[in-house]
Structure 1
Amino acid sequence: MVYIFISVICSVTVGVLFKLASRYSINIQQAIAWNYLTAIILSLLLFKPAVAQLSLPSTPTYYILGILLPTIFWILSRSVKAVGIARTDIAQRLSLIIPLLAAYLIFQEAFGGVKIVGLVLAFLSVVLMLINKGNAKSKASIIFPVLVFLGFGTVDILFKQIAADPSRPYATILLLVFLIAFPLALAAALYQRFKYQRSFKLVNVLYGMLLGMFNFMNIFFYLKAHQALSAQPSLVFASMNIGVVVLGTLLGYFLFKEQLSKLNFAGVGLAIVAIVMITIAQYYGS
């Protein structure tokens, strides 16, 4: 459980860093680029992949993921800034229903009653969490958590596809995707640098390295948790998702004074119930 706890802390910390970025005048595009460079370095040091496993992949899925990851990371930062950590974490964690729907609609996987009810509750919780009685600008910003929901769901489907690659372990797959994502993120930062005269600053490099450390540790300890509790994958999955939802909501509400209505809190409760039900159904066939 220690691995799960560390992974939850790291996941929520990424959201906190995005929340604090504007306060310290951080250029997010640059920070995202250095985040991936840091993840690459840590992957090489800790995973020590064989050179043969790092050959250029032939499937386009790797390259699609390499494009999506920095894009969705940027959207994640915009969502945290627009609607806060609580709603963004809910959107990210409930994106699990997208690959589940793909399994049902595309791959013809049989669904039981518990899973169907869990999916319905998950959709309802998203609606409740995104209800905002603020001004028009706040209502328009709902697009960002929706994109987080759709983006992370799509990324999850793509990761499931390439995880079946028999020539490479999962850790090496992650490294390859990081290697594709970094030059794209750097190119975007360079484009911003010359088009909008945004100079490269050391503070953005350091902030990106900090972001990359927590982003990498989130993934690393999540994998370690699955290894340590290999006989109880549902425990890992449920604990991780519920932990992020609860901690993200508490930090957003108490630390950053994010305004949450009774309907929003009801959405948090429904999200936790939905995650538990989907997890039970996923691993016990209900």
Structure 2
Amino acid sequence: MHFLIISILCSVAVSVLLKVARRNGVVIAQAVAVGYPVAALCSWLFLHPQLSDWQVYAHHWIIFLALGIGLPLGFIVLGKAIEQAGMVKTDAAQRLSLFLPILAAFIWFGESLSNNKIIGIALALMALLALLYREKSTKSKQKGGFFSTAGCLFGVWLCYGTTDILFKQMAKSGTAFAPTLLIAFILAAVLIIGYLLLRRTVWNAASILAGLLLGCLNFANILFYIRAHQQFQQNPSLVFAGMNLGVITLATVIGALIFKEKINGLNLAGIVLAIAAIWFLFYGSSLHSILPGM
């Protein structure tokens, strides 16, 4: 469980960094572009990937190709969605992408479905809806039409849900995940840096410095997320749900305490539901042994 907790902490740290960065002249796209080479370097230094057996790793080419494209593409779509639909709706689309990996856990990865897991997943989805609820305020202007906005939100939902599934598949590759992760980071770096060069981006020092920290946090987040999947090989739904619930719950608390963001009664109820959901998913086997009818 400690791998999942560390991954959640790193993910929230990334969100806090990006929130603070916007106020200090950091161009997020540039920071992300710098972050991928840093993450690749961390993969090389800490995981020591053995690239000599490239014939073995070639079988996983579809994973690192998909991640190499999906990671920067997800960021670009996310930025466009924030511009078109606003932060609240975009965050909701990103977190509700949990539906895709949860579905994949039972259909693709063969996780057994028990009553306690059904309860846990139901509580997780209710917790997400409660945590994402925001009271109506003045409507922000949308710069595109309905289909443009809906398309961006669907793109966020699809990109982040698919990426979660790919990380689980990478975890199943065993020792091959180190070179796969390295190559995915390198491909992501090449693609997003190429994208920025085509847009003739003028780089600044603040963005580069932020990118150095972002790359380290991003590497740790993904590494420990994959480790969590390896630790709970037979229970991927716990990792999928735990990650999403943990991130948004902790982000809600930090937002209220540090950034003075308002939370309402439903948000507080969502935190309680999130704890209950993780309890059912994590302690399900113990509960089943005590209550055979569950």
| Equivalent-residue separation in structure 1 for 2:153 and 2:2 (angstroms) | 29
- Measured after TM superposition, the shift of residue 149 of structure 1 is 5.2
In the TM superposition, residue 261 of structure 1 has moved relative to its aligned partner by 1.6
Deviates more, 1:90-99 or 1:28-37: 90-99
Matching residue of 1:152: 160
Query: TM-score, normalised on structure 1?
Result: 0.76
AA in 2 matched with 1:183: V
CA gap of 1:77–1:122, structure 2 versus 1, over 3 A, is farther
Cα offset for 1:91?
7.1
- Cα distance change, pair 22–142 in 1 and its aligned pair in 2 (3 A): farther
Give unmatched runs, 5+ long, in structure 2. 289-293
CA apart distance, 1:68: 1.2
Distance 2:228 2:113 in 1: 27
Contact 2:242 2:278 in 1 (8 A): no
Rate the CA distance shift 1:143–1:209 in 2: closer, same or farther, 3 A.
Answer: farther
8 Å Cα contact 2:7/2:222 also seen in 1: yes
Aligned amino acid, residue 161 of structure 2? G
Name which of 252, 255, 272 aligns with 1:252.
255
Query: In the alignment, what sits opposite 1:276?
Result: 279
Matched, 1:263 2:266: yes
Aligned positions of 1:1-286 closer than 5 A: 6-53=6-53, 57=58, 59-74=61-76, 82-83=86-87, 88=91, 95-105=97-107, 110-132=112-134, 133-137=136-140, 150-165=158-173, 168-193=175-200, 198-221=201-224, 237=239, 243-281=246-284
Q: Distance in 2 between matches of 1:99 and 1:2?
A: 21
Residue 61 of structure 1, CA deviation? 3.3
Number of aligned residues = 276
Instruction: Indicate the percent of aligned positions where both proteins have the same amino acid.
Output: 37
Distance in 1 (CA, whole Å) between partners of 2:82 and 2:255 is 10
Q: Deviations over 1:147-186 (max 9, x none)?
A: 65543321121223344447x5222221121111111111
Deviation at residue 5 of structure 1 after TM alignment: 5.5
* In structure 2, C-alpha distance between the alignment counterparts of 1:92 and 1:72, rounded to whole Å: 10
| Gap runs ≥5 in structure 1 | none
